[in-house]
Amino acid sequence: MILRKALQDGMARLRDAGIHGPERDARALLADAVGLPPARLSLEPDLELTAAQQARFDAALTRRCHREPVSKIIGRRAFWGRDFQVSEAVLDPRPETETLIAEALKGPAPRRILDLGTGSGILPVTLLLECAGATALATDVSPAALRVAAANATTHGVADRLTLQQADWFHGVIGQFDLILSNPPYISETEMRDLAPEVLNHDPHLALTPGGDGLSPYVTIAEDAPRHLTPAGRLMVEIGWKQGPDVVAIFREAGLSHVQILADLDGRDRVVTATIA
């Protein structure tokens, strides 16, 4: 079968399965199956697939029809212009999380960074690539997630500047940091049942929800962050788009200052920042 026909058949199969964006997904899966950049598919439409490539594409389509995310099928996700390894052990990075990076880069370049609940390591790895000379500590309770973060740090050449530590939030963390950031689990127990199958069945629940109203991680972070921030240090957390006022109240009650809500590119509340100054 040639590329053009394989792509057409793949799109039809995904469309029949009710997959949103079948053209995009079929193209990504086919490109991965044949080892080409997606943009090359239209340049070589008559390229003949090998039997192995056809089998790989068919298997990928089957997984996608069962609502497995494309990123988990091909094992990577683009974030801030770079590819990062992902697996079932980590949260699939979302574009809105780039709001944290954008805000972090607006201020003074941090020398020492702490990322709480790092998952795939996209936040500290990205910031280390953007901030020459900085170092980072990243924590996570999951050994499997830390292995993915270590692989991403190695791939992007920052393993010598990133320390990974198995820890529950600040437990065992020593020292102060110019920037503390986190994309914690924040989905409420009630909201979990409304998640798409791609998220509910393929992201670790520990990274999605803390249970209850979804706010408990912010209480822990707000209580412990002040003693780990340098005098001019900044705290930044991702939030659910309805949680802004609640997280602001939690941070202010903990004595944090200059508490602000920032919107993502869709105009939804996405990040809360604070300092101790």
Write out pLDDT tens, residues 190-221: 999 999 999 999 999 999 999 999 999 999 99
Distances (CA, A) of 209 to 127, 206, 215: 25, 6, 9
76, part of any domain: no
pLDDT tens digit sequence for 20-79: 999 999 999 999 999 999 888 988 889 999 999 999 999 999 999 999 999 999 999 999
Q: Which domain holds residue 16?
A: 3-66
pTM of the shown model: 0.93
- The string of pLDDT tens digits covering residues 128-138 is 999 999 999 99
Determine the pLDDT at residue 277: 65
User: Cα(159)–Cα(157) distance, rounded to whole angstroms?
Assistant: 6
Per-position b or e across 140-167, b if 16+ CB within 10 A of its CB = bebeebbbbbbbbbebbebbebbebeeb
Same domain for 127 and 214, yes or no, is yes
Length of the chain: 277
What local confidence, expressed as pLDDT, does residue 221 receive? 98
Residue 82 in domain: no
Q: Are 48 and 120 within one domain?
A: no
Residue 225 and residue 112 in one domain: yes
* Structural domains in the chain (count): 2
Examine the domain organization and report whether 126 and 220 are in the same domain: yes
Nearest-angstrom CA–CA distance, 108 and 114: 15
Instruction: Give yes or no: residues 108 and 229 share one domain.
Output: yes
* CA nearest neighbour of 20 among 65, 55, 74: 65
Same domain? For 61 and 185 the reply is no
pLDDT in tens, 154-171: 999 999 999 999 999 999
| Domain identity same for 162 and 268 | yes
Same domain for 112 and 217, yes or no, is yes
Task: Please give the average per-residue pLDDT across 80-95, as a whole number.
Answer: 96
